[in-house]
Amino acid sequence: MMCDFTKLTEEELIDLLKLDKPAAFREIYRRYWKELYAAAYKRLKNNETAEEVTQEVFTTFWHKCTEISISQTIAGYLHSSTSHLIIDQFRKEQVRARHRESFKLVYSESDTSTEDLILAKDLEETIAHEVNALPDKCRSVFALSRIEHKTNKEIAFELGISEKTVEHHITKALKRIRLGLGNALFLMGFLLLK
């Protein structure tokens, strides 16, 4: 006997989700995707980012659907999840903006002579070499942390490891990079003090 999922209540869909029924998830996705996307787009003003946030909400919901305890409506739960991800997105953008401003400040205040540019290029190559020399898992954690600006909690969830393990990998990566930089870091500090 086939079930018409479009006629089911939210409570019935939740019960089916807990039984690991993909059709129940597809119905929830069908009902709420446009609504969540519109809410995300209204706040983010960016089509691609709004889609990413919406997909992340549903991906997380699917992975946790058998263990989620929903004390409100599905719509309320999904909207709340969307709001949290939007706030995270704004935080990440603020971090990126601060990094861009710091970078601009360093380069606008320093003399961009040929020598300085060569030293900066050497430093960049040394860092890239040290990062590439890291073990795979350590390199992945470092990239997620320092390039994608993800939190330790997000990295732990994404890679299926503990937050302590994430911290260990980041510490290990930074120590190895610091050791590899040695004189290059000293020279860069000297350049910034000119």
129 located within any domain: yes
pLDDT digit string, tens, across residues 124-142: 787 788 888 888 888 888 8
CB burial class (10 A; 0-12, 13-18, 19+) of residue 164? exposed
Task: Tell me how far apart the alpha carbons of residues 60 and 68 are, in angstroms, rounded to a whole number.
Answer: 10
Q: Per-residue pLDDT for 36 more than 90?
A: yes
156 located within any domain: yes
pTM of the model: 0.51
> Which residues form the domain of 21?
5-91
60 located within any domain: yes
Domain stop point among 37, 64, 91:
91
How many domains, the chain? Answer: 2
- Shared domain check, 18 and 48: yes
pLDDT of residue 2: 59
103 located within any domain: no
Task: Tell me how far apart the alpha carbons of residues 14 and 8 are, in angstroms, rounded to a whole number.
Answer: 10
Q: Tell me the CATH number at 34.
A: 1.10.1740.10
